[in-house]
Every structure is written in C-alpha cells, then in structure tokens.
Structure 1
Amino acid sequence: MTSTTHHETRIVSDPDVPLVRITREFDAPAEKVFRAHVDPELFAQWTGPKGMEIRIDRHDCRTGGSYRYVMAQDGEEYAFNGAFHEVRENELIVQTFAFEGMPDDVALERLVLEDLGDGRCRLTSTSLVDSFEGRDGFVASGMEVGVNEGYEKLDELLARA
C-alpha cells in the first residue's frame, strides 16, 4: 500500500482586495501536477469534494480554450465554466472561473507552479473577484471543503501515478 502525505492547504482572503490566495505543496514534480490540471480524465478524478461525481462537458486547456464541468451528488448538480487565457506548460494557467449558480461573480484565477526540487512543487492559486461580496460568496459556498478534499484526492492520484 502506498503511503500518501497530505500537506496543509493555506486559504487566505486578502483584507484589501477581493482576492483569495490558495497555497499548497505536493510531493510530485510540477509536470505531474500540471498534467492533472490539464488532462480532463485526470482532472475529473480529483477536483472537488469527496463523494461528488464529475462530468466534463469540455476541457480544452490551452491558451484560448474553454471548459465546463458539472459536479453532482444526491440528485443536485453544480455547473462551472470558464476560459483559459494563458497556459504555459508546467508553469502557469490563467483562467476565468464561474459557478453557473452565481453567473455574475466571475473570478480571474492564476495558478502558478513552482519547482521545489527533490520531485516536489508548490501550487499558488489566486482568485480575484470584482467585489468583496462575490469573493465572500465563493468562500462561503464551501470552497474550503472542496479545495482541501480535492487536493487530498490529488495527492492520492499523484502517489499512484
């Protein structure tokens, strides 16, 4: 059986700007973590809270591409969509993110992968929303649970790969 280390996920809401910063280290190289974000089959295996089924409608992770996926549990569905504005292999993904249940609150997200050496990396994600109310709505909607449980599933996926 493979032993998996779970690192702390830091989620910080900026007091001066409607921004959320998420920082997480992984015991895997940046290339593997990047691939888990851009490969729709892998992405569906780890994103979101445990117990959710993920259906990928589209996931064209390239500069100018777009995505839409649906999370489902107990007959409830939650859809998310956005556009990829810049994708640099193993380094950066800049995208928009919208929960279709709150279509006016679109976040601009920047995911940066940093090589830490020894086959490890750090992912820093910033999500900028146009208002503090919108940002706080994202945070209050259970984002923390989805992020933490999703990254735990990603740890397990990376350990198996």
Structure 2
Amino acid sequence: MPPTSGAGSVVVTTPSDREIRMTRDFDAPARLVFAAWTTPELLLCWFGARGWRLVECEVDLRVGGAWRFVSRGPGGAEMTQHGVYREIVAGRRLVQTESYGDAPAGAETLVTTEFVEDQGRTTVVTTVTAPSREARDAVLRTPMERGVGEGHDRLARVLTEIRAYGVDGRRRAADPTDASGTTELRRERRNG
C-alpha cells in the first residue's frame, strides 16, 4: 500500500487491516540504534512527542522481561505504556507487546521493530499489529504519527551526539574502527 503520510521523515503505511508500519532511516549503525531503543538512559533522552518526556523507564531486556514507560506532558498529564518482550535479536529485531494505562484484556498490540543496516545507516521498520481493524483505525486517529516523528527526530540528534561524544559526553577521537560508539555503550552498561 502507498504511504498514508510522512510526518517529518517517518513514513506511515497500513499494509493490512490490522497493521500500522512506520519506517525511518538513521545515520548510525544498527547496534547503536538498537541500544538507543533499549537502554533506559538513552530512551530518556529521546522518547516521545514534543512537550512530553519519560519520567519513568524500566527495561528488562530479555525474552519474557517486562518494560514500562511513564511519560509526562503538558499540564502534568501522564501516559503509561507497558508490555513484555517476546523476541530479541540484538541489533536486528525486537518484538514486544504494548498496552496503554489500564487497557482491558485483549487490547494490547504486538510491536515488531526491525533494524536494517546498510553501509553504516540503519532503517528502522516498526510494525504495530492491533487486535482489530477498529483498534488500528482508532490509533491512526490519534496524534501518534506526529509524536513518533518528533521522537524520532530527537533520536536522530541523540545518535549524532553519541557518535561524536560517546555516551559519557566526552569528545571522541576519530577512530574509523569504532565509529558506532558501541565501546562507550558497553563501558556505560558495565559501570551503570
């Protein structure tokens, strides 16, 4: 199907009557993008729409592990998202359930995110599978597309900063053998 739209540089399509697919390219290797997608300290830097920020971010990155995000927005409004990881292939694929707030049983979506690297750039393809067409259409009527686009724009800036400065904020020497910043990410995980 052709794109429904493209807020910023996120392209949103509806490949089936229950799916929403969002695609975005990032100028960073897949390992680094995956780390930014799954590391609480990095998620706190970029996740969410403009005016919203994560105030709680819990990630138990293992199959069967839970994740939970609480975002705070304008006027102190809060939104909670949570789910369970079903599949993890580091640097390549992440599959998780997702529910909002106290959503009723059966209202959760399945979110599959693929990280496809080509010559140091990564295309992230996120497919949200809703329980029904009606549920998918309700999501499409929300400002989800704008929010995802704004969050992804922040992520692009964070990735640029990590590549230039590393996770610890210190200017990195130009080292073509470690352009991804993964050494700093590994060091940060060991120390944190």
Using the size of structure 2 for normalisation, the TM-score is: 0.75
Q: How far did residue 105 of structure 1 move? A: 2.4
C-alpha spacing 1:63/1:89, structure 2 compared with 1 (3 Å): same
Provide the residue aligned with 1:153 in structure 2. Answer: 154
More strand by share: 1
* Long gaps (5+) in structure 1: 1-6
Residue 142 of structure 1: how far off its partner (Å): 1.2
Q: Using the alignment, how far apart are the partners of 2:153 and 2:57 within structure 1?
A: 24
Equivalent residue, structure 1, for 2:64: 64
SS in 2 for 1:141: coil
Q: Which is further off, 93-102 or 28-37?
A: 93-102
Q: 2:80: which partner in 1?
A: 79
Cα distance in 2 between the residues matched to 1:61 and 1:141:
28
Q: CA deviation at 1:57?
A: 4.6
Aligned residue runs from structure 1 range 22-41, under 5 A: 22-41=22-41
Superimposed CA distance per residue, residues 45-79 of structure 1 (whole angstroms, 9 cap, x where no aligned partner): 11110121212252112211111111112121111
Aligned mates of 1:78, 1:141 — CA distance in 2: 14
Q: Answer yes or no: is the 8 Å Cα contact 1:78–1:101 preserved in 2.
A: no
CA, structure 1 residues 57+155, in 2 after alignment: closer, same or farther (shift >3 Å)?
closer
Correspondence for 2:187: none
Q: Which amino acid aligns with 2:150?
A: E
Contact persistence 2:44–2:57 (CA under 8 A): no
Structure 2 match to 1:138: 139
In structure 2, C-alpha distance between the alignment counterparts of 1:25 and 1:49, rounded to whole Å: 18
Say if 2:40 and 2:57, in contact at 8 Å, map to a contact too: no
Residue pairs, 1:97-116, within 5 angstroms: 97-100=98-101, 102-103=103-104, 104-116=106-118
TM-score, normalising length from structure 1? 0.89
CA distance in 2, matches of 1:147, 1:30: 19
CA distance in 1, matches of 2:59, 2:143: 23
Query: Which whole-Å CA distance do the structure 2 matches of 1:120 and 1:133 have between them?
Result: 35
User: For structure 2, which runs of at least 5 residues remain unmatched after alignment?
Assistant: 1-7, 163-192
- Larger RCO of the pair (alpha carbons < 8 Å, separation 6+): 1
Inter-partner Cα distance in structure 2 for 1:77 and 1:101:
13
Counterpart of 1:48 in structure 2 is 48
Q: What is the distance in 1 between the residues matched to 2:49 and 2:78?
A: 13
- Structure 2 residue identity aligned to 1:149: E
Aligned residues: 153
- 1:97-153 Cα distance to aligned partner (Å, 9 max, x none): 111164452110110111111x21111111101111111122222110111000000
CA distance in structure 2 between the aligned counterparts of 1:122 and 1:54, rounded to whole angstroms: 24
CA-based RMSD of the aligned residues comes to 1.4
